[in-house]
């Protein structure tokens, strides 16, 4: 495929892009945890990635057995005496805290990923509002610096190999030391970075790596966490090896067959020139070889790199789609004189992308409206340090309502999120953190594209979000031109957009491959008329600003009613206005609601004591709000009937209660205690409502399709909470030190009915083969600890996240509360093959 230019896009009228790539076989979501009467949607677990030998390369997880110390941003005596004078960096090898002799016995033991911000107390300071009232920043030096230390062994037999450490994400400014030596620094809170440790290692002896993390400055205006909050890896390779993120697979689908354009870059860090070739093997999801290719032998000079390429063909490929996210694996092998020197693996999918000026976005030739949500990266209980399984769980919740795309607002995502989207069949608008053509801006953009360009889920690159100055200034078009040019050089198969929220009459917006609208529905038709040759998408469209389980707006309690209301300002919209608007314009490619999940920081529409936003369609735990079912009715193709509110209104007998129904059936009839309150026809993309005088009992909705009742929903008046119920997303997890179970906590009455208004304070005890790593309840105003083994129910629900140890057995969760019958849940932790990991030294 030729390099994308604005000219050839306009001339074609539709941009056709071949499929792309990454990692783990086809999916099916696990159980969806839903609130109220929504049923869990069970499905099979995602099958494991087939085992493919990558030796002699070793890619080792470096997450376990770290030590942590809370430093100080201004006082050297409280910061390991770092910076006590200006001579710290004068000599190589002088940093005592990064040598084996340093005593870290008083440091805290932990495993990565880790976010120390979520462990901090909430502090009322208006300057902390957007970051969720956590004490980070120049004003809070005592809690803005953290030190991480790890002692590890590199075997003697590894001498002669190159040893690299890769950090997937550290927030924020990090200094890395190894064996007393300063190795390097990184100042992005989201971009991965790699250092070569080889020359500083003690082979066969103890080694020490230390990372000083300073979160005094932020990258964004939302909760960002603090610490090494993503995975760390140690990679061992031959001096003749494949360059990081240089293996690329591009697919061209013609007449039922897929031609694969394969390329990679070989680096020679050895002492002699080498002649080598690259062999590619293609495997399907079951690990069966389906194609192969080979490049001619080529010389690679010392301290240089050489590109290799080849072609392969899959005769009848399994296409990657939203319904069937089929994946393939490509293994590139360097060979010299019959000897394997290095291997690399990427996962890819076979699919086509297209943009049409009249039909919008097309996937595999079919018009595919983007039914998307924007999302930040934090979750209740764990902050930004989200375990891999939780990444998948969050995507399963969104896919459960018919969401088919996410926008990684507003930063490079963690790889495990993109892998989950690959496996589940969810499209990704992948966004870089800063809109800039500076060296740093282009470096972050380049890293994002190199890292993720093989993923089939990614369909569009975003150059940034709501850059008010650049949207108006003369510099804007120059910046966008440079960023798009770099994007097209690295990936000619995808177009670029940016989230623009104004200044549509200025030069920046028309420069984009795909114009991205944030809100401003009233401007879109005018813009389309003035720019008929530009593709359009809604990068940020509307918000479901509601408090889960609340049906009366109360400004004193910072609550927002969950009733579906069409606001005059369509940016604050349940979903009716914006989706109606977009769905009536086929040239608009759909859009992304703000947001899928509630998130920490930006407490909207209120401030303190709110500590999280209320923009989400689900809360910070993933419990759906009523808005979830509006989207599900019109984004999912399954029959749906959702009735709200609950029917517990003591003291309001005889008062009028607004009852609403979300449904995609033909009509709905409402009953109270068996008496009909009338039937209404469903108008597409709108809700139904009745005004009902409250009488305790049973409220029932009956949904009709083609004259037959096909669904019923009830809301019953419950008794007082009587006992606790614990339900896990999975009752068996892997004993690998990484896997988690997500526990739903609720209170039921004596008849087993879930009490939707329960607010009991629950205490937890976790024993056996695992530990509690976080708690939450979705209350935007709750300031209880995310880490203590206790949590109050919020409108009947709370969540506990537990993580398995590496030993198989039983993980037991006990829940108790005053005046409630306790509950116990046992999770089985099964023995599995552990991911390759860095060896630790035993401590005396």
Helices (H), strands (E): how many in the chain?
10, 47
540 is catalytic: yes
Three-state secondary structure of 152-194: EEECHHHCCCEEEEEECCCECEEEEEECCEEEEEECCCCCCEE
Q: What is each CA distance from 659 to 140, 635, 644, 683, in whole angstroms?
A: 48, 23, 6, 17
Angle formed at CA 327 by CA 632 and CA 194, multiple of 5 degrees: 100
Contact by Cβ (8 Å): 658, 689: yes
Q: What whole-number distance in Å separates Cα of residue 750 and Cα of residue 489? A: 65
Angle formed at CA 115 by CA 109 and CA 120, multiple of 5 degrees: 95
Q: What is each CA distance from 193 to 176, 186, 233, in whole angstroms?
A: 11, 7, 11
Contact by Cβ (8 Å): 587, 360: yes
Where helices occur in 425-496 by DSSP H, the ranges are: 439-452, 468-472, 475-490
CA dihedral (233, 234, 235, 236) in degrees, to 10, reads: -170
Cβ burial, residue 438 (10 Å; 0-12/13-18/19+) = exposed
Contact by Cβ (8 Å): 462, 498: yes
Strands 708-716 and 698-705: antiparallel
At a CB cut-off of 8 Å and minimum separation 6, what does 460 contact? 429, 430, 494, 495, 496, 497, 514, 537
Q: What share of the chain is helix, strand, coil (3-state, %, to 5)?
A: 15, 40, 50
Q: What whole-number distance in Å separates Cα of residue 351 and Cα of residue 365? A: 9
Tokens of 93: 């090898």
Residue of 129, 615, 190 lying closest to 384 (CA atoms): 190
Tokens of 721: 């909470």
Residue of 827, 629, 619, 808 lying closest to 729 (CA atoms): 827
Angle formed at CA 449 by CA 443 and CA 455, multiple of 5 degrees: 160
Task: Report DSSP letters for 669-722, one per residue.
Answer: EEEETTEEEEEEEPPTT--EEEEEE--SSEEEEEEEETTEEEEEEEEE------
Tokens of 326: 């089929």
Q: At 282, is the secondary structure helix, strand, or coil?
A: strand
At a CB cut-off of 8 Å and minimum separation 6, what does 163 contact? 154, 196, 197, 198, 201, 234, 235, 236
Residues in the chain: 844
Q: What whole-number distance in Å separates Cα of residue 188 and Cα of residue 204? A: 33
Q: What whole-number distance in Å separates Cα of residue 99 and Cα of residue 151? A: 9
305 is catalytic: no
Contact by Cβ (8 Å): 374, 447: no
Tokens of 761: 């304070």
> Which of 466, 669, 784, 790 is flagged as catalytic?
466
> Which of 419, 540, 713, 738 is flagged as catalytic?
540
Tokens of 522: 């009233």
Angle formed at CA 651 by CA 647 and CA 656, multiple of 5 degrees: 60
Q: What is each CA distance from 44 to 31, 248, 266, 326, 385, in whole angstroms?
A: 9, 30, 39, 15, 26
Active-site residue list:
466, 540
């Amino acid at each position: 495929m030729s390099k994308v230019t604005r000219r050839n896009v306009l001339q074609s009228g539709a941009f056709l892009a071949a499929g792309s790539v990454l990692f783990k076989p086809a999916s099916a979501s696990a159980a969806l945890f839903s609130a109220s009467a929504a049923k869990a949607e069970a499905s099979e677990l995602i099958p494991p990635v087939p085992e493919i030998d990558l030796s002699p390369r070793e890619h080792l997880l470096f997450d376990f057995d770290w030590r942590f110390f809370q430093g100080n941003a201004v006082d050297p005596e409280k910061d390991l005496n770092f910076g006590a004078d200006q001579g710290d960096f004068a000599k190589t090898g002088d940093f005592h805290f990064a040598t084996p002799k340093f005593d870290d016995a008083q440091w805290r033991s932990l495993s990565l990923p880790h976010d120390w911000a979520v462990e901090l107390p909430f502090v009322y300071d208006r300057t902390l509002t957007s970051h969720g009232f956590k004490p980070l920043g120049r004003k809070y030096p005592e809690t803005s610096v953290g030190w991480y230390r790890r002692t590890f062994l590199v075997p003697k037999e590894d001498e002669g190999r190159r040893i690299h450490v890769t950090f997937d994400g550290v927030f924020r400014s990090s200094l890395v030391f190894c064996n007393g030596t300063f190795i390097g620094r990184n100042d992005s809170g989201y971009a991965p970075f790699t250092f070569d440790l080889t020359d500083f290692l003690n082979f066969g002896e103890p080694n020490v790596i230390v990372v000083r993390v300073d979160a005094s400055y932020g990258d964004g205006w939302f909760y960002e966490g603090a610490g090494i909050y993503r995975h760390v890896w140690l990679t061992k390779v031959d001096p003749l090896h494949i360059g990081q993120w240089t293996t690329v697979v591009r697919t061209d689908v013609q007449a039922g067959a897929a031609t694969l354009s394969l390329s990679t870059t070989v680096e020679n860090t050895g002492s002699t020139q080498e002649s080598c070739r690259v062999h590619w093997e293609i495997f399907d999801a079951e690990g069966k070889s389906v194609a192969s290719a080979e490049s001619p032998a080529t010389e690679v000079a010392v301290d240089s790199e050489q590109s290799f390429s080849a072609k392969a063909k899959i005769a009848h490929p399994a296409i990657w789609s939203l319904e069937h996210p089929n994946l393939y694996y490509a293994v590139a092998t360097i060979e010299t004189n019959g000897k394997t020197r290095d291997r690399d693996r990427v996962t890819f999918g076979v699919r086509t992308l297209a943009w049409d000026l009249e039909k919008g976005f097309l996937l595999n030739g079919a018009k595919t409206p983007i039914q998307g949500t924007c999302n930040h990266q934090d979750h209740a209980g764990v902050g930004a340090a989200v375990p891999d399984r939780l990444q998948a769980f969050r995507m399963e919740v969104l896919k459960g309502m018919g969401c088919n795309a996410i926008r990684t607002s507003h930063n490079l995502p963690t790889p495990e999120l993109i892998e989950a989207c690959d496996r589940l069949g969810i499209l990704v608008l992948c966004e870089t953190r800063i809109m800039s053509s500076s060296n740093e801006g282009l470096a972050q953009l380049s890293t994002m594209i190199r890292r993720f360009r093989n993923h089939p889920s990614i369909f569009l690159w975003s150059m940034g979000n709501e850059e008010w100055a650049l949207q108006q200034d003369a510099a804007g078009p120059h910046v966008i031109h440079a960023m798009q040019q770099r994007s097209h050089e690295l990936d000619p198969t995808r177009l670029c957009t940016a989230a623009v929220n104004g200044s549509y009459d200025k030069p920046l917006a028309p420069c984009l491959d795909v114009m991205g609208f944030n809100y401003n529905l009233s401007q879109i038709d005018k813009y389309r008329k003035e720019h008929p040759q530009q593709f359009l998408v809604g990068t940020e469209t509307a918000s479901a600003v509601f408090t889960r389980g609340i049906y009366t707006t109360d400004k004193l309690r910072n609550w927002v009613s969950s009733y579906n209301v069409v606001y005059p300002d369509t940016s604050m919209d349940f979903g009716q206005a914006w989706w109606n608007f977009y769905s009536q314009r086929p040239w608009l490619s759909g859009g992304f609601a703000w947001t899928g999940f509630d998130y920490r920081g930006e407490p909207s529409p209120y401030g303190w004591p709110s500590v999280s936003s209320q923009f989400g369609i689900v809360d910070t735990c993933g419990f759906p709000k009523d808005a979830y079912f509006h989207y599900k009715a019109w984004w999912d193709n399954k029959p749906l009937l959702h009735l709200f509110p609950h029917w517990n209104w003591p003291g309001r007998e005889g008062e009028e209660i607004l009852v609403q129904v979300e449904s995609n059936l033909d009509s709905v009839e409402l009953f109270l205690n068996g008496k009909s309150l009338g039937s209404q026809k469903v108008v597409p993309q709108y809700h139904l409502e009745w005004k009902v005088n409250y009488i305790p009992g049973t409220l029932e909705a009956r949904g009709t399709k083609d004259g037959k009742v096909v669904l019923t929903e009830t809301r019953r008046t419950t008794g007082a909470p009587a006992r606790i119920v614990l339900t896990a997303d999975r009752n068996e997890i892997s004993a690998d030190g990484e896997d988690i179970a997500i526990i739903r906590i609720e209170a039921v009455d004596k008849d087993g009915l879930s009490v939707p208004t329960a607010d009991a304070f629950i205490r937890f005890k976790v024993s056996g083969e695992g530990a509690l790593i976080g708690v939450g309840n979705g209350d935007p105003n709750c300031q209880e600890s995310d880490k203590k083994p206790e949590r109050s129910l919020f409108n009947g629900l709370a969540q506990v996240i537990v993580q398995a140890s590496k030993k198989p057995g039983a993980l037991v969760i006990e829940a108790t509360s005053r005046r409630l019958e306790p509950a116990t849940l046992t999770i089985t932790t099964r023995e599995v093959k552990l991911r390759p990991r860095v060896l630790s030294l035993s401590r005396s």
